[in-house]
Structure 1
Amino acid sequence: MKFRNFPMVPRVLFGRNSFDQVGELLMPLRRNSEAPYIFLVDDVFQDRPEVTSRIPVMFEDRIIFISADEEPKTAQVDALVAMIKTAFDEMPSGVIGIGGGTVMDLAKAVSLLLTNPGSAQDYQGWDLVKNKAVYHVGIPSISGTGAEVSRTTVLTGPEKKLGINSDFTPFDQVVLDPAMTGGVPKDQWFFTGMDCFIHCVESLEGYFLNTFSQSYGEKAYELCCEVFTSDELGLEERQNKLMMASWHGGMSIAYSQVGIAHALSYGLSYELGIRHGVGNCMVFDHLEKYYPKGVRKFKEMKDRHEIVLPSGVCSDLTTEQMDSMTRVALSLEPLWENALGADWKQKITEKEIHELYQKM
């Protein structure tokens, strides 16, 4: 048996207000004054000088504000790369993503496409990237996606929603500053936190589970339950613990895989544009057959925080739309194999997937 040699983020800085050390981290790695740092920043911070004034721009550095209203797309990556190559004669010293999963995935993808020819859609899949990315840094401003630690950058392309999964994708440096997550709306906090919780359930109950994944998954599961069910945690402690749950949840799938909720959520996102965290929750709410214990705990947390999920979104879809969502979901074969085993194609049918979607 040959084991995979997975890469991990080599440097991590953790602590409240550690964001103030970003300039100190970047300075030694700046190639010269003409090789800029590109800061991709969630546009929620555009009118928040308490954050933007602390971004350490100098020389030719550029801040590009990114809307996170939609999931990241391959065309968006291509446009950003073209803009950067047109604006600067030198290759950037690095790309820094400041925001949620959307911005961090874009930062990873842009850093890869700056050094690899073609379009982002050419690299959707597993281990298709040939050249090392430019230096890239992830600074999450919301906790749960695990994008800060994963070896994938999930993108919606013209034909599919699928990650660029490669050894060159993980960040070179991550800054985990729980104070950056202040001000996240309640629903978004819940949906993104549940993305982490669902990572753990799908990893811990999957066929690919091993001791490495289990150790991270169990800790992330424990932290999520504490954050979303305890009345004794203060705000700062809640932020600290959820940020570490996100990290551990991302690590739990590094050596295993996610499962059915993520596969079906990808279909919802591709066809209907439903955000990843929301889509995961919509799907997971109906997966008692596959993850009974996890779904019970999810429903308990959902009720505790008075979260109302969207409903009826698939009730008026055409057959073509339903088939499209199903095609996208079934294309994620490793997810189904992790959930149902090597013979997964004998255990799930398109009809069953249609029936699950029709409940949403």
Structure 2
Amino acid sequence: MIYRKYVKPVLATGIICILFGCTNEKDKKEITVDNEPLNVILMIGDGMGVPQISTAYYFGDREANFSQFDNIGFHQTADKSSLITDSAAGATAFATGKKTYKRAIGVDQDTVPQQTILEYLKGQDYLTGLISLTTITHATPAAFYAHVKDRDMHDEIAEQLTNAGVDFIAGGGRKYFKDRKDSINLFDRFKGSGYNLDTTALTNPDYDKRNAFIISDEGLPSKIEGRKDFLKDATLKALDYFEKNNKPFFMMVEGSYIDWGGHAENEEMLVSELEDFDETLGAVIDYVRSHPNTLLVVTADHETGGVSIGKYYDTDDTSGKKTEVNDRVKVYFNSDQHSGELIPVFAMGTGSERFRGIYQNNEIQHKMMDALKNE
């Protein structure tokens, strides 16, 4: 199907042009590439810097899927309030194209709500999806649909999600929709809006409805706690859902617990979460290669842990003598907090060449919008 949608198909725009003249050709361009819609997939490995990605090359038993990218850049993470950002300000920059203060969700530094790329594309008749391992009201996914002054306003964020019209939702956070201080059951609102809702398992989507899979009270378990392939499975189900509905889509997928591994200074957790993210990435790359009119962008909001990959030593229990093991490495943590490292950006598909170089984190949204408008 050839799908065509103008950026601003509004009668008032035409009237203004007649009265005053219009010189902004950018607004009149179509969201098409070769007369087809451009799908956008944004994958965010929360807390994922170059050292975290490097673990895929030292601890994995296969070639890392990051090796499949030719278009690679870096972004600078500082926000309006701090050189060391958080997930809220970082994701808000990705979603709105504007830097803001730490802890802000979908608002600028004056707490004024800003339209997100997800909301904009909803207005262009795109399907939308959000997948996270944490509660779906957590900072990263929330920044794409909510507008609050502080990331901990989970009850308000959850209520805004029920009105956001996101077509495919998968993650945790049951308690913010059901066990609320105001005693309102927001799951009833989902059902009243025609959602296929499952609060216990990631089941097959209903292709004729919007779908919400909110399957744990808080976040899902980590990999070392027994989580299976939720991230990959949810992503594949979302892609299948979008394809069956034969419409363009925007989807954000968050590998949330790479960040948590850094905060916990837990090598096993970090390595296993990065491996899970890389496996999901491989499935998405397969989709992009078979659907060339898709833009895939992979990045992180910040690095967590000040991680480095260094020498591994065996220590003699009796003498305490350390001996370097030449065919092994170890993950070292500088802290349990975020760092100010430059963050890599990997891009593939239509418009991916825009993501080369070094730029500010909010430029990622601008580059995605430019690709959508085929500038």
- TM-score over 0.5 for the pair: no
Larger radius of gyration: 2
The TM-score with structure 1 as length reference comes to: 0.28
What TM-score do you get using the length of structure 2 for normalisation? 0.28
